[in-house]
């Protein structure tokens, strides 16, 4: 990280904490520097920033969020902040040609990084998250050694609803649950439902 990215990250951390508190609640597992995939509900673009800010410093540097390429590379500033500050992995939301959209994630996991994933694929409007897409299942199958941690991001949609530009101060928290493992020959839909239930169960703890 160069000094500008470092300054930006400190500034952003201060700003996010002032607005939301960005509190991490470790319920099902301690914060630990093992290779993990955190998967969470997705209601706002600020989700990525909040979960990044909620992680402790030591984990933040080894954990890479997934960012939608079309949104986060739309301007030079967004591109700079996702690459330099968040160290994000870009994914395509629309499948283009015959390349595997998961390839960037596989590369990141191969090199030992942890990931922050929003398996709904897109931001939801409802109280409950949408059905999970199969990316999480495919990654779990391919990397059985990586720990899967469900997370519930609370309140972020109130900070900045879709279409608004000025954020409002509201306390937010990220609740991390007990790790999930893909069982031997567990069918895809069963696993994805179980993962979604694990995320939703954290809403009320």
Partner 1 sequence: MTSFLRSLSADQQVSLVFVLLFGLLLIASGVGVLLSLHERRAGDDDTQAARALRQRDNQALLRSSWVMALVFWVGWVMGEGVAIVLFGLVSFFILREFISLSPTRRGDHRSLVLAFFAVLPLQYALVWTERFNLFTVFIPVYVFLAIPVVSALGNDPQRFLERNAKLQWGIMVCVYGMSHVPALLLLNFPRFAGKTAFLVFFLVLVVQTCMLVQHLTARRPHRPVAPAISGSFHWRSWALGLAAGGLLGAALAGLTPFKPLPAMAMALVACAAGSFGHLVMKAIKRDRGVTHWGSASRSVTGASGLLDRVDALCFAAPVFFHSVRWTFNL
Site for partner 1 in 138-157 (CB under 8 A): 155
- Tell me how many residues contact partner 1 (CB under 8 A): 15
Which of 12, 133, 173, 201 forms a contact with partner 1 (CB under 8 A)? 173
| 164 binding partner 1? (CB under 8 A) | yes
Which of 122, 169, 181, 187 forms a contact with partner 1 (CB under 8 A)? 169
Which has the closest alpha carbon to 129: 68, 61, 20, 44? 44
Report, in Å, the least distance between residue 125 CB and partner 1.
10
Q: Which residue number, 21 or 179, has a Cβ lying nearer to partner 1?
A: 21
Selected range binding partner 1 among 8-16, 93-101, 116-124, 166-174, rule: CB under 8 A: 166-174
Selected range binding partner 1 among 22-30, 49-57, 75-83, 130-138, rule: CB under 8 A: 22-30
DSSP for the chain? --HHHHHHHHHHHHHHHHHH--EEEESSS----S-EEEEE---STHHHHHHHHHS-HHHHTTEEEEEEHHHHTSSHHHHHIIIIIS--EEE-SS--TTS-TTHHHHHHHHTT-EEEE-TTSS---SSSPPPPPTHHHHHHHH-TTSEEEEEEEESHHHHS-TT--S------EEEE---B-PPTT--HHHHHHHHHHHHHHGGG-
| 90 binding partner 1? (CB under 8 A) | no
Q: Which residue number, 23 or 138, has a Cβ lying nearer to partner 1?
A: 23
**Length of the chain counted residue by residue:** 205
Structure tokens at 129: 């998250």
| 126 binding partner 1? (CB under 8 A) | no
| 21 binding partner 1? (CB under 8 A) | yes
Which of 1, 7, 33, 171 forms a contact with partner 1 (CB under 8 A)? 171
Residues that bind partner 1 (CB under 8 A): 21, 23, 25-27, 155, 158, 161, 164, 166, 168-171, 173
């Amino acid at each position: 990280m160069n000094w500008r990215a470092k300054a930006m990250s400190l500034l952003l951390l201060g700003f996010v904490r002032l607005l939301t508190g960005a509190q991490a609640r470790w319920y099902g597992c301690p914060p630990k520097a093992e290779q993990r995939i955190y998967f969470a509900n997705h209601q706002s673009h600020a989700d990525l920033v909040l979960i990044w800010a909620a992680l402790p410093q030591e984990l933040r540097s080894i954990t890479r969020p997934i960012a939608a390429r079309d949104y986060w590379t739309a301007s030079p500033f967004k591109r700079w902040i996702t690459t330099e500050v968040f160290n994000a992995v870009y994914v395509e939301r629309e499948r283009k040609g015959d390349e595997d959209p998961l390839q960037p994630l596989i590369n990141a996991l191969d090199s030992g990084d942890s990931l922050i994933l929003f398996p709904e694929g897109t931001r939801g409007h409802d109280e409950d998250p949408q059905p999970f897409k199969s990316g999480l299942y495919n990654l779990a199958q391919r990397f059985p050694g990586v720990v899967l941690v469900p997370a519930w991001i609370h309140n972020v949609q109130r900070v900045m609803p879709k279409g608004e530009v000025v954020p409002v101060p509201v306390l937010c928290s990220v609740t991390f649950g007990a790790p999930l493992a893909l069982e031997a020959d567990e069918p895809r839909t069963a696993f994805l439902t179980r993962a979604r239930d694990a995320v939703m169960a954290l809403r009320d703890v």
